[in-house]
Every structure is written in C-alpha cells, then in structure tokens.
Structure 1
Amino acid sequence: MSTEVEQEPRRSAEDTEGGTPLLELRDLHVYYGAIEALKGVSLTVGEGEVVALLGANGAGKSTTLKTASGMIQPRQGQVLLRGERVDGIKSHELVQFGIGHVPEGRRVFARMTVLENLRMGAYRLKRPDPADLDRVFTLFPRLADRRKQVSGTLSGGEQQMLAIGRALMGKPELLLLDEPSMGLAPLIVQQIFDILREINAQGTTLLLVEQNASQALQLADRGYVLETGAVVMSDEAGALLSDARVRAAYLGEAIE
C-alpha cells in the first residue's frame, strides 16, 4: 500500500456537537532512542465514537495509544483532551481525566483474584462503586462466576475480559484498547467485540488498535491507517472496509 495516498475523513470529530474532539493528537513525534516511531501522527476521536487504528506490526499503533495515555511522552506535538493539553501528565495521573487503557497482552495481576484486579482498576476512587462492579459482572458474567479465582489461572479470553473490566472500573470516558482479539479463538473474539459494542452504546468512547481489520471496521465509525509511524489513510469505516488497498493489505485479498 503506497504511503503517497492520503484521504480526509468524511466525518471528523469536529463535526460532533460542541465542535471540540474528545481526544486530539496533533503532529506527534515520538522516539525510542534515535529511532523515530511516530512521524507527525495527527488524529481525532469525537465523543461517543469508535475509531479504529489499523496498520502492520511496527507501524506505531501501540506507541500512539501509549502516547495518548501518558505512558510515553512525545518529543514534539500535543495530546489534547476536550481541547486542553494533557501531554506531559503522567499516565497514572491521566486516569483522573477519564482515560482508560487496556494494554496489549492483557497484563492482569496474575497472583490476585478477579475481584482484586477489578478493585485495582478503581484505585483513583476512594472506594469502588458497587454499581461499577455490577456493570462489569453484567457485561462479563464469566468474571462474576470466577470473582474469587486467581487471575493467572483464567483462560486467555477471560483475562482479556478482566483487563477490559478493570479499565472500566476507573469510569473512563475514553477507552484505549490495544489488540483485544490477540490470541483468542474466533468465538471469543466475536464475544469481545459484541461487548465492546455494548460498552460504546452505554456511552464510552473507544479508540481501538486491532489486527483483525474486518472486525475493527465493522465496529468503528471511522478509521486511520498507519504505515511506518505516519497516517497514510483516514476515512469512514465503511469506506475503508471496501477500499481495495485496505482489503489487500489487511484482509488478504488480491487487487484486481
């Protein structure tokens, strides 16, 4: 797929009510030592949207999420939440601003129980809200059944559910998800995406990094494509899903 192609999205976050995106990344340049991982990445996420971030391994997708959540600080550029700059704020403090991050690889606290993991997700609150626990257990009935089980003994799918549930315990307005389907069986992947759709319907905005481009674009409103640290395409999800270049690069279809 050529990096010379760049499209503007048909519906941007600025079109949402109020005119200010929930999240805006402006001209982000991020380095690992001397290696430039992000080369001027800009994107917007409007309140209530699901936005997908696609790209091959090493394209900069995870780095983009880590920069948005404060885990990595950009050398140049800005991260804005509701129009206010938040770059420079540490990740554990940025949770207070309503950003939740579900990292690649789940990273549950393996020696803690399911319930203890969920309570850790609410650490910024004085005490966990029972309504939030009820919400998580309603979304993920398996977690309710395993609330006293040590998390390291859960299946991969159950650990992914726990990682998402733990993030929800922090009451995020914006949830960043990094490869939620990685390593999961197709049936579990479908369950995870059904739950993400319900989470969004309940009012949580989603920015999603996902190798399963078909699932991601069926869930998303809009999408961006990253190549070697730069945005090379952006459009409505349906347009990206039908684009021959996207289908060839990420769905394994030949360009006729």
Structure 2
Amino acid sequence: MQLLGLKYNKMMSPVAFRKFPEFIMTDPLLKITDLNTFYGKTQILKAIDLQVHPAELVVIAGPNGAGKTTLLKSILGLSEVTRTGTILLNRRKITKKKTHKITAMGVGYVPQGRLLFPSMSVDEHLHFAGYKFRKKSQWPPAAIYGLFPELQERMNVPGTRLSGGEQRMMAIGQALVSNPALLLLDEPSEGLSMRIIQRLEEVCRFLKSQGMAILLVEQNLELAQALADRAYFFSNGKIEQEIGGDAFRNDQATVCKYSETCIN
C-alpha cells in the first residue's frame, strides 16, 4: 500500500486511533473552554476556546511569543504552567490532572527541539517511552519502524548520532508508542531539509487517515497550509481568528496579518 509516497509496511499498526467505546465521532476529541494560563503571576493565554475532532488536523498559527507553545503545555499539564478554565478529552475533564495521567488518557506530545539520552540507542528510546503502554499500544516499536524504516536501519545507533530529521522521526515515534488519540506537534519542521519536511507531511496525512487528531504548531506556512483542516490565529495570548482549511490556503491577506512569514 502506498500513501503519498509513504509505503505501508505490514508491521505498522492498521489503526492508530485509540478506541473509546462510548465516543461519538462527531464530538470534539479535545474541547477547550475559557482557558487562562499563567507562568507565575504572568498571564500568557487569555480566554481560549477551541476544539479538535478525530481525524482532524488543526494548525495553531501566529508570531513568536503569541502563546502557541504555552497552549500545548497547558493541554498536557506541564508543571511550569498553571491553568483555569476547562479542558476536555473525550468529554473527560483533564484540567487538574498530572501530565502522566493525561498521556495515559491518550495525548502524545512532540516538543520543539530535541530531548535525547546520549547513551541510549534508537530502540532503547522507543522501548523506554512505551514501557508503560507496551501491553495495549497499537504503536509498539515494530510499528514505528514500519512508519519510519530509516529508524529501523539505525535502531542500535545512539540517538545523539542521528541526523536532525532522524531525531525528529524518533521524537514522533516516542509520542506514538504511548498510543495517543491526540498528537501535539510543536514546530516539527524546524531546521529540517525539504525532503524530510515532505516525509513529515506524509506521516501526518497517514496518521490523520487512521483517525488520529493532530494539533500542530508550525511556522512553516507551506507545510501548515498543506495539512490544515482548520487554523486558529494566535496573537498576544488570544485567539484572534478561526479559519477553515481552504481559506487558510487561499486568504493570504488574513494569513499574513497574523504570521511573521508569508508565502509570496
């Protein structure tokens, strides 16, 4: 099977989306209402309302400092932020839950940059990240190698010796082994070659085709516009505008109004 140049390996999981027996596919998987986020006493996010549905890729766009990364950290409940408001995952409130509980409930996170253990191989990174989920994950390391054959070829190589593109693949793999229904991606194309960015686009399309919801923070407008079903424009910690995927691709005046770079 071939999907946009991505070869489907029989080792890959046939269904990436975590099953919720009571879940209605028309409901939002993620629903955020009146979210306010603080670093100490400094408010970063103000009255955020947004939704992400299964099999939907939603882009968070805006200039540096707009609060995009803080949004992802708020969803995941990372310790450096405090939150008010409501965050629902599959209609279950996660606003007060710890990060490891939120991950176990079906949220995967690929942070900006590279977080690696110098002494650990690719295979060790994947098994370590997926240890708690090994009995129920639809994305064991074997499936990750099906998605990223490049990693299988280098499975015994220390993560720090991988190329930038390979390290990003491994980071996505580490998020997938936790069996997420919702994948949070923070600037995944940063510093990557055009070839690897195209691979990233293929992988996102494949995951979405399997029912996975994706929330993408991305400054590469060409990639973001290619993938978006919807987009939210952030500015100064607030949502200034929500826009559909077709409008996001075609309304350059609106896109440029809220972005630091534009496609000419």
Give the TM-score taking structure 1 as reference length: 0.87
Give the conservation status (yes or no) of the 8 Å contact 1:213–1:250: no
1:71 to 51, 72, 78: 78
Partner of 2:254: 245
- Give the drift of 1:47: 1.2
Alignment of 1:182-221 (within 5 A): 182-221=190-229
Structure 1 pair 163/18, CA: closer, same or farther in 2 (3 Å)? closer
2:171 partner amino acid: A
Give the conservation status (yes or no) of the 8 Å contact 1:218–1:238: no
Give the conservation status (yes or no) of the 8 Å contact 2:221–2:263: no
Structure 1 pair 224/131, CA: closer, same or farther in 2 (3 Å)? closer
Q: Supply the RMSD in Å over aligned alpha carbons.
A: 2.1
Partner of 1:162: 170
State the alpha-carbon separation in 2 of the partners of residues 178 and 139 from structure 1. 20
State the alpha-carbon separation in 1 of the partners of residues 46 and 72 from structure 2. 14
Partner of 2:111: 103
1:41 to 48, 60, 72: 48
- Give the drift of 1:202: 2.1
State the alpha-carbon separation in 2 of the partners of residues 176 and 204 from structure 1. 11
State the alpha-carbon separation in 1 of the partners of residues 82 and 144 from structure 2. 33
- Give the drift of 1:241: 2.2
Match of 2:36, SS state, is strand
Q: Extract unaligned runs of 5+ from structure 2.
A: 1-22
2:255 partner amino acid: V
Partner of 2:156: 148
Deviations, residues 136-190 of structure 1 (Å, cap 9, x unaligned)? 1111111000000000111111000000011111111111110100111122111
Bigger drift between 73-82 and 54-63 goes to 73-82
2:100 partner amino acid: H
Deviations, residues 166-225 of structure 1 (Å, cap 9, x unaligned)? 111111111111010011112211111111111211222111110112211211211101
Structure 1 pair 194/250, CA: closer, same or farther in 2 (3 Å)? farther
1:53 partner amino acid: I
Is 1:116 the counterpart of 2:124? The answer is yes
Alignment of 1:175-186 (within 5 A): 175-186=183-194
Is 1:57 the counterpart of 2:57? The answer is no
Identity of aligned residues (%): 38
Partner of 2:38: 31
Partner of 1:5: none
Match of 2:74, SS state, is helix
Structure 1 pair 20/131, CA: closer, same or farther in 2 (3 Å)? closer
State the alpha-carbon separation in 2 of the partners of residues 82 and 129 from structure 1. 18
1:69 partner amino acid: L
Partner of 1:10: none
State the alpha-carbon separation in 2 of the partners of residues 82 and 128 from structure 1. 18
Structure 1 pair 223/88, CA: closer, same or farther in 2 (3 Å)? same
Match of 1:203, SS state, is coil
Partner of 1:173: 181
Partner of 2:235: 227
When the two structures are aligned, how many residues end up with a matched partner?
239
State the alpha-carbon separation in 2 of the partners of residues 62 and 174 from structure 1. 16
Bigger drift between 33-42 and 174-183 goes to 33-42
Give the TM-score taking structure 2 as reference length: 0.84
Deviations, residues 57-104 of structure 1 (Å, cap 9, x unaligned)? 111000000111121554321111111111111111211101111111
Structure 1 pair 60/114, CA: closer, same or farther in 2 (3 Å)? same
Structure 1 pair 148/18, CA: closer, same or farther in 2 (3 Å)? closer
